[in-house]
Amino acid sequence: MRLFKKIITISTLFALGTIALSGCSGDKDSNSNNATSELNNSSGEKTYGGTVVVGIQQDLDSLDPHLVEAAGTREVLFNVYEGLVKPTPEGDLVPAVASDVTISEDATEYVFTLRDGISFHNGNLVTVEDIEYSLKRCAGMLEGQSAPLTSAYAAFASVEIMDEKTVKVTLSQPDSEMLAYMTTAIIPKDSDKTGELSGTGPFQFVSYSPLESYIVEKNPNYWSEENAAYLDRVEFKVIADSDLAVTQLKSGTIQVYPYMTDDQALAVENDMQVLAGHMNLVQALYLNNESGPLSDVKVRQAISYAMNKEEINLMVAGGRGTEISTSMFSGFEKYYNKDLDSVYSYDLEKAKSLLTEAGYENGFDLTITVPSNYQFHMDTAQVIVEQLKAIGINATIEPIEWESWLEEVYVGRNYEATVIGLDANMTPKDIMYRFETGNSKNFINFSSPAFDEAFQKAVSTINDDEKVTYYKEAQAALTNEAASAYIMDPPLLVALDNNLAGYTFYPLYVMDMSKVYYVK
């Protein structure tokens, strides 16, 4: 397999459906999110320069792109750091730090050619040593490391410098999905020792104030003149209170704010543009499979039968969300198991019967721990609380700060249930891997031999028909064993100042401010 044309073909195996996923969510038609965004002020003249303040709902969990856990942090750092390849709004992978890639026929060797003349924000040219360092660091191959920072890189057998322009990655087993992970940031060699976290993206780091803001400015030496930023400066301002964000939008204190609820969008739509896309998340009531009653599959199934997804969608998302029944974006159309959509039709009598069989005919208490900065998830949890009352489950919401959620729920697994959305790279593997038995990211403590076997078969084969079959089998295990109660891919509602245009939706969780500009 030679040249980047072939690489785009490979990525399309996983991206064809994501274009549908990014459709305008208002009427769920076939218009792409990109087309939706281009409607805003598209007739105005593009201008260069200016500053934009973007409201974000959570603080950055790390300034080091290799240590980031939160999707909200990744979408901000997307503007500063680039990998060997990067995604496009259309769902393809295109050259970035690498100018060319060759993949062996058996998908065990990936050879990358360094782009000529590309430099870090500190002015130094990127070298193959920087690439080797970045990949080995993420693979846990550096001296003193005990585990990969990027779990997919555990499959790396070696990272070798072939010459001053070429680096080869050899895998321990075939993996035709590995290219989607090569978006990992390339940073200067020995950054962990020097503290140098310079990137190659269209914006460069200026300052960071914890719990307040992350500020970037235009990279004047960006390697792609065609894709250089329009804006001079962007401030990502942390606003954990979404109602305060609405106030600041109306006052002009911030010009961009994503992840609004339907009510908030209605509150500002007369004052500014409101664009509609999809969050590209699997939102669910995630259940700790080792916690009390939730350790019983019948209890988890009962919860799934008791939750009315259509009602949640209408009440929280204004009907704009895409309801799902397993841990896979429906936009991955080829891989999404549509047969699972009918498994848990809303059925209170079935739910009560399963609770009785499990010995909880009188119900039980359940705490749903939710990050308070995400109003959408808070609102979703409130609807779920009311729905579960119908089968005797007394659910209460425990609001928690984002940093505490990461520590207590995601890492510590000290919780019963939570409402959150999981993001993924442009490959079905990335949304599924965390549910393998014993995986460090398996925060729901799910364990299923059926899932483990199907998932391993899916990631091991390079035959796409087989991959589709095995991924659908893995999804069936998640759904049939009620690993969690799946809800929707939520709508992404973005408020945009009337003087701005160019905001572009991607088929994954990023916020590309290089495409945003002021219009005359």
Per residue in 172-221, pLDDT tens? 999 999 999 999 999 999 998 898 899 999 999 999 999 999 999 999 99
* Average pLDDT along the chain: 90
Within this chain, do residues 382 and 309 fall inside the same structural domain, yes or no? yes
CATH code of the domain in which 44 resides: 3.90.76.10
Within this chain, do residues 287 and 398 fall inside the same structural domain, yes or no? yes
Q: How confident is the model at residue 91 (pLDDT cuts 50, 70, 90)?
A: confident
Within this chain, do residues 405 and 514 fall inside the same structural domain, yes or no? no
Residue 140 lies in a domain: yes
Please identify which residue in the block is written with the tokens 């004052």. Answer: 271
pLDDT tens digit string along 220-234?
999 999 999 999 999
Asked if pLDDT for residue 22 goes beyond 60, the answer is no
Please identify which residue in the block is written with the tokens 């959305």. Answer: 421
Within this chain, do residues 446 and 508 fall inside the same structural domain, yes or no? no
Within this chain, do residues 385 and 320 fall inside the same structural domain, yes or no? yes
pLDDT tens digit string along 6-16?
333 333 333 33
The contacts of residue 378 (CB under 8 Å, 6+ apart) are: 370, 372, 397, 399, 419
DSSP track, 227-278: G--S-SEEEEEE---HHHHHHHHHHTS-SEE-S--HHHHHHHTTTSEEEEEE
Which whole number is the average pLDDT over 68-80? Answer: 93
Residue 92 lies in a domain: yes
Residue 34 lies in a domain: yes
The Cα–Cα gap between 126 and 74 comes to 22
* Angle (CA) 116 121 123, round 5°: 65
Residue 260 lies in a domain: no
Residue 262 lies in a domain: no
Backbone torsion region of residue 211, taken as left when φ is above 0, otherwise alpha when ψ lies between -120 and 50, otherwise beta = left
Within this chain, do residues 420 and 515 fall inside the same structural domain, yes or no? no
Within this chain, do residues 498 and 484 fall inside the same structural domain, yes or no? no
Asked if pLDDT for residue 19 goes beyond 90, the answer is no
pLDDT tens digit string along 407-430?
999 999 999 999 999 988 788 898
Dihedrals phi, psi of 137, to nearest 5 degrees: -60, -45
Residue 162 lies in a domain: yes
Which whole number is the average pLDDT over 379-385? Answer: 97
Q: How confident is the model at residue 372 (pLDDT cuts 50, 70, 90)?
A: very high
Asked if pLDDT for residue 25 goes beyond 70, the answer is no
Instruction: Sort strands 417-422 and 365-371 into parallel, antiparallel or unpaired.
Output: parallel
| E strands in 89-232 | 93-95, 98-103, 109-114, 156-163, 166-171, 203-209, 213-218
Total domain count, the chain: 2
Within this chain, do residues 470 and 515 fall inside the same structural domain, yes or no? no
Asked if pLDDT for residue 313 goes beyond 90, the answer is yes
Within this chain, do residues 299 and 448 fall inside the same structural domain, yes or no? yes
Share of the chain above pLDDT 70, in %: 92
Print the domain residue range for 398. 282-489
Strand arrangement, sheet containing 282-287: 322-323, 484-489, 282-287, 417-422, 365-371, 394-400
Within this chain, do residues 80 and 141 fall inside the same structural domain, yes or no? yes
Total residue length of the chain: 520
Within this chain, do residues 468 and 506 fall inside the same structural domain, yes or no? no
Within this chain, do residues 431 and 508 fall inside the same structural domain, yes or no? no
Contact 387, 380 (CB under 8 A): no
The Cα–Cα gap between 124 and 114 comes to 14
Which whole number is the average pLDDT over 293-304? Answer: 98
Residue 210 lies in a domain: no
